[in-house]
């Protein structure tokens, strides 16, 4: 069995403990998990990897809706404002200094505030949308306690993605850690462990790390 299929089968086992272990378990004992994919990377990762999981809801927030939307997913558009770019001829470049904590569409915030159970933010840090959405939403939702909790599954960028991406990723990571939210998946460790592998292979291994962390979260939230 391929690793990805094995991981998915394991996740389904963890998500449906009654069928896996043959024990009666009330639906009310299962914790509701609401997954939110942020930015291009986070939304695409959720759409590609989390089809068929026992999730209470899936929300995707990005500038482009993924081609394959998960069943019953809700999509909210988010476009970086023109003010964050420097323009040169016909090209646009993100400014060096950017404010990552921003006001978001109240509809998005209210929609997620109303979720009962755990809200899980998933994002690839470094690029503008994922960094801004994660930092801003984490700031709005970090007060959630006990049954209505917040967790974050994010990746800190590879070094080859550039110093500005690294700076944005570090700023958001520091905020998450200072608020006792989850530590980021450090993609650069992939190269430490596996050497100077190709970019495509590095991102593939990053996907595997994300899935492993997701499985751990599902297991812990369902009390396994």
| Ranges of each domain in the chain | 40-221
Both tokens assigned to 28: 């009310």
- Sole residue written with tokens 């979260």: 217
Closest CA to 36 of 204, 184, 151: 151
Match domain 40-221 to its CATH number in 3.40.50.1440, 3.30.450.20, 3.40.50.20, 2.40.50.180. 3.40.50.1440
Q: Are 156 and 184 in contact (CB under 8 A)?
A: yes
Is the pLDDT at 218 greater than 90? The verdict is: no
Q: Are 49 and 211 in contact (CB under 8 A)?
A: yes
Question: Would you say how long the chain is, in residues?
Answer: 224
What tens digit of pLDDT does each residue of 45-61 get? 999 999 888 899 999 99
Closest CA to 72 of 35, 104, 42: 35
What tens digit of pLDDT does each residue of 152-166 get? 999 998 888 889 999
Is the pLDDT at 68 greater than 50? The verdict is: yes
Q: What pLDDT is recorded for position 38?
A: 97
Q: How far apart are CA 217 and CA 149, in angstroms?
A: 12
Q: What pLDDT is recorded for position 27?
A: 44
Q: How far apart are CA 182 and CA 221, in angstroms?
A: 14
Mean pLDDT of the chain: 83
Quote the pTM value.
0.82
The band of 43, judged by pLDDT with boundaries at 50, 70 and 90, is very high
């Amino acid at each position: 069995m391929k690793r990805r299929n094995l991981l998915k089968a394991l996740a389904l086992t963890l998500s449906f403990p009654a069928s896996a272990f043959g024990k009666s378990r009330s639906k009310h004992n299962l914790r509701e998990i609401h997954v939110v994919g942020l930015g291009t990377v986070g939304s695409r990762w959720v759409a590609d990897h989390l089809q068929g999981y026992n999730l209470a809801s899936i929300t995707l927030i990005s500038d482009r809706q993924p081609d394959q939307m998960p069943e019953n997913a809700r999509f909210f558009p988010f476009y970086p404002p023109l003010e964050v770019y420097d323009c040169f001829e016909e090209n646009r470049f993100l400014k060096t200094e950017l404010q990552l904590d921003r006001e978001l569409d109240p509809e998005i915030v209210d929609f997620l505030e109303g979720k009962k159970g755990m809200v899980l933010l998933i994002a690839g840090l470094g690029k503008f949308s994922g960094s801004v959405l994660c930092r801003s939403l984490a700031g709005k939702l970090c007060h959630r306690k006990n049954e209505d909790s917040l967790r974050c599954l994010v990746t800190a960028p590879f070094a080859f993605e550039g110093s500005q991406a690294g700076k944005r990723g570090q700023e958001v990571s520091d905020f998450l850690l200072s608020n006792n939210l989850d530590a980021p998946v450090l993609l650069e460790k992939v190269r430490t462990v596996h050497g100077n592998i190709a970019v495509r292979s590095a991102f593939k291994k990053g996907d595997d790390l994300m899935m492993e962390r997701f499985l751990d979260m599902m297991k812990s939230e369902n009390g396994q």
